[in-house]
Amino acid sequence: MNEILFQYYPVRLTTWFYLASLLSIALFFKFNRVWSVRNLDLLGLVLLAPGLVALEYVGETESAKIAARTLGFSWIFAVSGAFLLRMLFDSMMVRRPMLEPNLTTGGLVFLGCSLLVFLLANVINSKPHKDDVASAAAAERLGARAGAVDADQLVRYGPGYPLLFLLPQISTRQFLAGEAPAEPDAADASRRQVHETTARVMAILSQLAIVAGMVFIGWRHFDNTRLGIAAAVLYLLMPYTAWMNGSVDHVLPGALVIWAVAAYRNPILAGSLIGLAIGTIYYPVFLLPLWCSFYWERGVRRFALGVVAALGALVVALWLTSPDTTVFLGQLRQMFGWIFPNDVSLEGFWALPSSDGVFRLPVLAAFIAMMATLAIWPAPKNLGTLMSCTAAVLLGTQFWKAQNGGLFMAWWLPVLLLVVFRPNLENRVALLVLHADWFPRRRPTPVVDRAA
């Protein structure tokens, strides 16, 4: 960036938090209705950032750093828990007054495009941290050894598509903090360059897909393009977006889920996108009962076909890239998360000295109970219910996720923001908006006899 703009200095995360929070309040806070739910949602979104700032704190001693990480993860869990309750009770909020942003549509578009340019420029100029490079190299070595993926890689990295772990994390938090990037060895410099370029391209395309999907949903399903633009601008203003917008495992599942919501009128396409999200990072598998419940009256077989077809395509891709059957079976196990919950290595909140990993199992049991309840209630489900419950399920996975749970906000944040801005969608149910046939054809236009 400083090669294009002379003496450009990156904005640190703490500074971005203050500036973005003030700008978000100026744009979306309804000063004439202080006690509205929209204002409470906005304050909750602002309160997510202090936890991220605490995680980036580098103390003078190791004990100070551990205390900051404990505060950061606990803070994020507390705010995420409040949003989880908010999403669970969203379907009960029937009266949804139109609370538009305080800026015109043209101003929102200009601000959103400007933010997008700067955020994507940070992705292009960022380099992987040495820990991210080491993790990607370790995944590559594990993938090359027969049988190693079956045990070591699944335990260390958790479930997900094995080829995705070969890509380094292009995390812009090092760019925002001004840290020196890691320099790869000369022997594997060309291979690492290919992986870094692939990660950047995938992250940029995923971010563009998230923003475009939010605008599309506002235009197509909310019948109000301005609301979709407002939700996209607020997403781009979030400090989390500036912090982790270059991490493929964060933004790619979020892009797939948001476009599954956008394509809900096409069950096969929506199922294919959910299937790709499941194959990518596994955790969207817990959306299947909810989405099957939404399509139960009409479209459930088409949705299931889309999910199976997408997962089958990913399995075939693994088979074609695996050197032998042993490695393929190990990668297949990692893709579908075939491991006991207490066998994975813990990171983040559950790895803190003040946390006991045994309490993660009751949290997982409560999550499964919530997931089963949402598949039954409310019924029938409309688009608004589908969106809020989707955000709730993806939020719930963060509380028991072994690898840095709570930090993967891009999975649920775009959908949650659309729920915050959405109008009343009670008439968007599958029985009314879906065609009964698998391949609907345009009805012929009747011919009018003008002579008659």
DSSP 187-230: TTHHHHHHHHHHHHHHHHHHHHHHHHHHHHHHHHTSS-HHHHHH
Its domain, for residue 353, covers 13-433
- Which among 345, 20, 328, 438 has a CA at the least distance from the CA of 157? 345
Evaluate if residue 385 carries a pLDDT over 70.
yes
CA 435 vs. chain centroid, Å, equals 30
385 within domain boundaries: yes
Residues 291, 250 contacting (CB under 8 angstroms): no
Among 3-7, 210-214, 277-281, the least confident range: 3-7
- Which among 54, 70, 155 has a CA at the least distance from the CA of 355? 70
203 within domain boundaries: yes
Q: What is the pLDDT of residue 343?
A: 73
Distance, in Å, from the CA atom of 230 to the CA atom of 106, rounded to the nearest integer, reads: 11
Distance, in Å, from the CA atom of 424 to the CA atom of 429, rounded to the nearest integer, reads: 12
Bridge partners, 435 (sequence order): none
Distance, in Å, from the CA atom of 215 to the CA atom of 233, rounded to the nearest integer, reads: 10
192 within domain boundaries: yes
Q: What digits encode the pLDDT tens for the residues 190-248?
A: 767 787 888 889 999 999 999 999 999 999 999 999 999 999 999 999 999 988 878 89
Residues 380, 429 contacting (CB under 8 angstroms): yes
- Per-residue pLDDT, averaged over 172-194, amounts to 58
Q: What is the pLDDT of residue 118?
A: 87
pTM across the whole model: 0.90
Q: What digits encode the pLDDT tens for the residues 126-147?
A: 776 555 544 544 455 444 444 4
380 within domain boundaries: yes
448 within domain boundaries: no
Evaluate if residue 443 carries a pLDDT over 60.
no
450 within domain boundaries: no
Q: What is the pLDDT of residue 319?
A: 92
How many degrees, rounded to 5, is the angle at CA 206 between CA 247 and CA 41?
Answer: 80
5 within domain boundaries: no
Q: What is the pLDDT of residue 283?
A: 95
Helices (H), 47-104: 49-55, 62-88
Tally of structural domains, the chain: 1
Given CA atoms 326, 327, 329, 330 in this order, what sign does their dihedral have?
Answer: positive
28 within domain boundaries: yes
Evaluate if residue 95 carries a pLDDT over 90.
no
Q: What is the pLDDT of residue 247?
A: 86
Q: Which two tokens stand for residue 253?
A: 């599942």
